[in-house]
């Protein structure tokens, strides 16, 4: 059988095909390039943007109407939808539903905080390249990393070495994996050098970030800047069983008993107070608030005081946050300016029982140039009280000015000076 008729049929079909698939004639008699090329006539600055190395696909294909309505819109910049939602029309599932951690700009669909919707010099249309972008929000962290004496190479290669940008399915804090798995990807802790550095302890199962600052540090070994003395001296055996012991990494004793070995004087002093802060003796004891190895914070605190103290005293933190007038120690998370976190003879674990003495540490001049306060002056509202700073102020603030418990100054004063009440 000859193949000629069959080839002919194919040829006819090939010719007929494009004609059948051709788009219908433009409904609105649009000019050629109406979807974007025409826009450039009035927006010539886009010519430069199009030369940038990274151009958003709709922009490159001159499809402005992919995002903008050429005539009118309910949204700024003639966007076809809300600026926070329009990216999701193409970029779906940027944040996985079951993510373990998420980046707020991604979950809040504030894509424009990190990405330029048109073009950029940085990959992925980022508005800035590398850590400079992250520093927009995480300035302290990025600046700290740059200034640190001992730098982490992964940080120098960019935050994306360890962190996802939008969400992480497996790690906290957007980490690409949990610690230590993430760290073990680069650091072979079972090698002779790191084994020796870790005194032969099996650290492969330990949490690296309990000692090391992954963003860099001024302490050799990238330990956090505050290091517990036995760690700094490599004397792990002071607290832990020997490496290779059947109890592994276990501490030699539990809780307070272990810490008492070195901190006996401090612990005896706090135990002798009328009030002992409960975490001292309960649960993880000292480790309720302190890290055992190294910390960013003074006193080896697990986190800043606002976070540590606020884990139990959230009501007090909330009161401070709501206060119209901010008290400096509270604003600066310096709870220990006024409270002893271990034990005290005074109520509320205050470092001094009398508020003029306590407040006078910072407000010295008000001890002698203010409203009479002190033991000689009885509070007219209550014969068992003397006038104190706290007679008219609440240290963590109120919803009223000057941390006063009443809305106005006259209202406060006339609680005692009743004859002036109007």
Backbone CA torsion sign across 376, 379, 382, 388: negative
Q: How far is the CB of 416 from another protein (least distance, A)?
A: 9
Q: In this structure, are residues 231 and 223 in contact, taking their beta carbons and an 8 Å threshold?
A: yes
Of 12 and 378, which CB lies nearer to another protein in the complex structure?
Answer: 378
Q: How many CA atoms lie within 13 A of 390 on its CB side?
A: 16
Q: Does 313 bind another protein (CB under 8 A)?
A: yes
Considering only residues 178 to 237 of the shown chain, the ones binding another protein according to CB under 8 A are: none
Q: Does 156 bind another protein (CB under 8 A)?
A: no
Residue partners of 290: CB distance under 8 A and separation at least 6: 299, 300, 301, 302
The Cα 370–Cα 357 span in angstroms is: 14
Q: Which of 125, 333, 344, 391 binds another protein (CB under 8 A)?
A: 391
Q: Does 260 bind another protein (CB under 8 A)?
A: no
Take residue 356 and report the two structure tokens written for it: 């003029």
Of 126 and 350, which CB lies nearer to another protein in the complex structure?
Answer: 350
Of 195 and 276, which CB lies nearer to another protein in the complex structure?
Answer: 276
Q: In this structure, are residues 277 and 343 in contact, taking their beta carbons and an 8 Å threshold?
A: yes
Q: How far is the CB of 343 from another protein (least distance, A)?
A: 10
The Cα 415–Cα 411 span in angstroms is: 7
The Cα 375–Cα 203 span in angstroms is: 58
Q: Which of 210, 316, 336, 337 binds another protein (CB under 8 A)?
A: 316
Take residue 248 and report the two structure tokens written for it: 């592994």
Cα dihedral angle (376, 382, 387, 392), rounded to 10 degrees? -170
Q: Which of 82, 156, 282, 364 binds another protein (CB under 8 A)?
A: 282
Q: In this structure, are residues 100 and 170 in contact, taking their beta carbons and an 8 Å threshold?
A: yes
Q: Which of 275, 296, 302, 352 binds another protein (CB under 8 A)?
A: 275
Contact segment (CB under 8 A) with another protein among 55-63, 273-281, 328-336, 359-367 equals 273-281
Which of 279, 281, 302 has its CA nearest to residue 290? 302
Contact segment (CB under 8 A) with another protein among 25-33, 213-221, 278-286, 329-337 equals 278-286
Q: Which of 188, 326, 331, 381 binds another protein (CB under 8 A)?
A: 381
Tell me the per-residue interface mask from 334 to 363 with another protein, x by CB under 8 A, - otherwise. Answer: -------------xx---------------
Q: In this structure, are residues 338 and 271 in contact, taking their beta carbons and an 8 Å threshold?
A: no
Considering only residues 317 to 336 of the shown chain, the ones binding another protein according to CB under 8 A are: 319, 322
The Cα 128–Cα 382 span in angstroms is: 62
Find where tokens 């050429």 sit.
70
Give the count of residues interacting with another protein (CB under 8 A): 29
Q: How far is the CB of 391 from another protein (least distance, A)?
A: 7
Q: How far is the CB of 265 from another protein (least distance, A)?
A: 19
Q: Does 406 bind another protein (CB under 8 A)?
A: yes
Q: Does 257 bind another protein (CB under 8 A)?
A: no
Residue 66, classed as helix, strand or coil, is helix
Quote the DSSP letter at residue 411.
H
Q: Which of 34, 312, 351, 413 binds another protein (CB under 8 A)?
A: 312
Question: Contact positions toward another protein, by CB under 8 A?
Answer: 273-276, 278, 281-282, 312-316, 319, 322, 347-348, 379, 381-385, 391, 394, 398-399, 405-406, 415
């Amino acid at each position: 059988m000859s193949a000629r008729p069959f080839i002919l049929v194919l040829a006819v079909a090939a010719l007929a095909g494009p004609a059948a698939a051709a788009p219908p004639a433009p409904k609105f008699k649009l000019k050629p390039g109406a979807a974007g090329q025409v826009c450039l006539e009035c927006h010539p600055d886009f010519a430069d943007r199009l030369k940038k190395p990274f151009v958003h696909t709709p922009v490159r294909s001159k499809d402005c109407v992919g995002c903008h309505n050429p005539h009118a819109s309910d949204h700024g910049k003639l966007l076809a939808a809300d600026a926070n939602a329009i990216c999701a029309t193409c970029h779906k599932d940027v944040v996985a539903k079951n993510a373990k951690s998420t980046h707020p700009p991604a979950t809040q669909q504030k894509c424009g905080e990190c990405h330029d919707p048109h073009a950029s010099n940085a990959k992925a249309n980022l508005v800035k390249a590398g850590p400079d972008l992250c520093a927009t929000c995480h300035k302290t962290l990025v600046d700290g990393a740059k200034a640190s004496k001992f730098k982490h190479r992964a940080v120098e290669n960019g935050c994306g070495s360890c962190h996802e940008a939008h969400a992480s399915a497996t790690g906290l804090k957007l980490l690409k994996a949990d610690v230590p798995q993430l760290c073990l990807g680069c650091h072979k802790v079972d090698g002779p050098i790191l084994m020796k550095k870790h005194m032969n302890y099996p650290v492969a199962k330990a949490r690296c970030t309990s000692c090391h600052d992954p963003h860099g540090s001024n302490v050799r070994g990238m330990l956090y800047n505050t290091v517990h003395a036995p760690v700094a001296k490599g004397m792990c055996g002071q607290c832990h069983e020997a490496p290779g012991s059947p109890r592994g990494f276990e501490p030699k004793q539990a809780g307070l008993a272990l810490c008492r070995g070195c901190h006996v004087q401090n612990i005896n002093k706090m135990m002798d107070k009328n009030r002992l802060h409960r975490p001292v003796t309960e649960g993880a004891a000292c480790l309720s608030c302190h890290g055992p190895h190294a910390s960013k914070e003074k006193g080896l605190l697990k986190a800043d005081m606002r976070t540590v103290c606020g884990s139990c005293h959230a009501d007090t933190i909330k009161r401070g946050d709501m206060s119209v007038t901010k008290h400096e120690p509270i604003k600066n998370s310096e709870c220990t300016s006024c409270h002893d976190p271990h034990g005290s003879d005074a109520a509320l674990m205050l470092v001094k029982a009398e508020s003029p003495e306590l407040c006078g540490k910072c407000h010295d001049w008000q001890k002698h140039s203010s409203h009479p306060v002190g033991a000689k002056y009885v509070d007219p509202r209550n014969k068992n009280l003397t006038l104190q700073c706290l007679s008219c102020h609440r240290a963590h603030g109120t919803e009223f000015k000057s941390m006063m418990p009443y809305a106005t100054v006259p209202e406060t004063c006339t609680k005692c000076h009743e004859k002036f009440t109007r």
